[in-house]
A and B are shown apart, each in its own frame.
Chain A
Amino acid sequence: MTSDTAAARPAAGELTGLPPSAAVWCSGLHKRYGRRTAVDDVSFSVARGEVLGLLGPNGAGKTSVIKMLLGLVRPDAGEVLLLGRRVTDPRSRSAVGYLPELFRYQPWLTAAEVLDLHVRLARVPVGASERRECLALVGLGDRAGDRVGGFSKGMQQRLGLAVALVARPELVVLDEPTSALDPLGRVDVRDIVLSLRSRGVAVLLNSHLIGEVERVCDRVVILDRGRVAASGTLAELLGQREVRLRLGGLDGRAEDRLRAAGSLTRTGDWFTVALPAEDDGVTVPDLVRDLVGLGVRVHAVEPVRISLEERLLGILRHDEPEVSAR
């Protein structure tokens, strides 16, 4: 990163228009490892009480971005503010909880001692009963006195979740929080994230489980090859609808008319048209009217709602134009 004084000048101007208390604000993050660019001009923010999902394929740079946000990796360029403070200031992490993708805790300590350690490092006066409640919340209430070395991977991930939650965070960063958990554990994590949101705690969630993200996230940032490929609220990202039509007697003019309505794919008699996001509700009736006018036999017209998974795959396969809703 550039020096503090050099970084402060452009930031001051940019920050004046932003809400003063964004949980995360990052701009122009860039990171190279040797000759490979891992993160390229990534900017986004997470508002207080908001749950932001970070999606993308393996190697897209999600974990690198998270580590830069937490000051664990130094960006080559760009700036990060955590809870209103520059990330180079350790105090910016005072109210941040973090569950790393590579979760590992001192195996010679007990689960309760690991929480004690993190409470001391965070310098937050969290009482013994609150710490016990935190362990109980992640399902480790009866294992508080057991050494971490004897824990299964799933239990260690649950402990990691407790570590992230114990010091009364205002921002929780969860990097693949359910990778080692059973289906029951995944539901627990979902409930915890929703409960954090209801208490006004911001959450940055990196997960491969798209269904999980779709259920709990207010907004999504999709990273691909180190760049922001798309970002926006779920409504914005999934707002794009499709319409499927089963047609007969189609000629070149009718196909041109279909293409004019939106991106077209064909499987036998079935034609799928991706409708533009700014569709005002007249595209489909007008299309059907024109097709009939062109002598096309319309057998079926079905609206299709796109899923986040399909949207993600579309973006990553570069079938769809880049979207930046926010």
Chain B
Amino acid sequence: MTALTVAGLTLREAFRRRVVWALLVLTVALLALSGWGFSKLIGLDTELGTMTSGEARLVASVLLNLIMFGFSLIAAIGTAFLAGPTLAGEVESGQALAVLARPVRRSAVLLGKWLGLVAFGSGYVVLAGLAQILVVRAAVGYWPPAPAGGLALLAAQTVVLLTLALLLSSVVSPMASGIIAVGLFGATWVAGVVGGIGGALGNEGVERVGTVSRVVLPTDGLWRGAMNAFQDPIALVQMGPGEAGFPFLSDGPLTVAYLAWAAVWIAVVWGLTAMSFSRRDI
């Protein structure tokens, strides 16, 4: 009951503070630009002549993943900077005093905040991503192999990052929590690219950088799973073995073990946040 009330309040804050409208404008602009770009793909002349349908699907896969990355970046930054003020900001401003003096458990308030942010972040990536897939279909006729799974993984990536941002905001200032969360998100993505290059070059040490970073923070791992669901299955074959480290194509789908790890990771970080928040002096 408390959790649902607080979740509703969190969503209402996102609407009232015009976060939703800002994202909507940004997303519509991105969708329009990508639609225009994709429509130019048809009949595109290259040095080698008009693209084959296979080449067009490869380019569509890469571009779709690139734009999806843009959406996931917007969702990541948006939720990280929403999650920060949620706990630390409300404690700092004194807004939390009157709420937490009510007959509520702090873990229920935290759950409410988390659910609200999950609904907001996941809702955004799923709706924006779906709109993008429809735009691509209308422009070039490309339909990804597993759109639902891909969007779910994008949403999971957002959930991982906002859970981390909540943990950080329970121990450091709101601004610092947003910056650290987004910084770690970016660092993990770069580590994943470095690992991919290491794999392409056959260097196990460098490849391990990506593997370890994907375990420590599962955002990049989930993102790679999402890319795999969006890209054309034969895209990688077409790219050729020399391009295996390309950051906007994924080598393979996620394993069940990795998905389980991501769920455990979210649960552990959430538990740590609840413990830290319930012990904190307000």
Chain A positions near chain B (C-beta within 8 angstroms): 67, 70-74, 90-94, 96, 98-100, 102-106, 108-109, 117-118, 120-123, 160, 163, 173
Q: Is the Cβ of B105 less than 8 Å from the Cβ of A90? A: yes
Q: A90-B104, A96-B101 are in contact. Are A106 and B9 (CB under 8 A)?
A: yes
Q: Is the Cβ of B279 less than 8 Å from the Cβ of A74? A: yes
Of A92, A100, A108, A123, the residue contacting B12 (CB under 8 A) is A108
Instruction: Give chain B interface residues in 1-57, CB to chain A under 8 Å.
Output: 1-2, 5, 9, 12-13, 16-17
Q: Is the Cβ of A67 less than 8 Å from the Cβ of B94? A: no
- Chain B, interface SS category: helix
> What is the number of residues of chain B that contact chain A, defined by CB distance less than 8 Å?
23
Q: Is the Cβ of A108 less than 8 Å from the Cβ of B103? A: no
B15 and chain A: residue at smallest CB distance: A108
CB distance from A39 to the nearest CB of B (A): 12
CB distance from B282 to the nearest CB of A (A): 4
Cβ–Cβ < 8 Å partners of B17 in chain A:
108
Cβ–Cβ < 8 Å partners of A96 in chain B:
101
A-B contact pairs, 10 of them (CB 8 A): A72-B100, A90-B105, A98-B98, A102-B94, A104-B93, A104-B97, A106-B13, A118-B102, A121-B2, A121-B5
A-B contact count (CB 8 A): 74
A118 and chain B: residue at smallest CB distance: B102
Chain B positions near chain A (C-beta within 8 angstroms): 1-2, 5, 9, 12-13, 16-17, 93-95, 97-105, 279, 281-282
Top 8 nearest A-B pairs (CB, nearest first) are A102-B94, A108-B16, A121-B102, A100-B97, A98-B101, A104-B94, A72-B282, A73-B281
Alpha-carbon separation in the docked complex, A93 to B100 (Å)? 10
Alpha-carbon separation in the docked complex, A98 to B100 (Å)? 10
CB distance from B151 to the nearest CB of A (A): 29
Of B94, B97, B101, the residue contacting A93 (CB under 8 A) is B101
Cβ–Cβ < 8 Å partners of B12 in chain A:
108-109
Cβ–Cβ < 8 Å partners of A74 in chain B:
279, 281
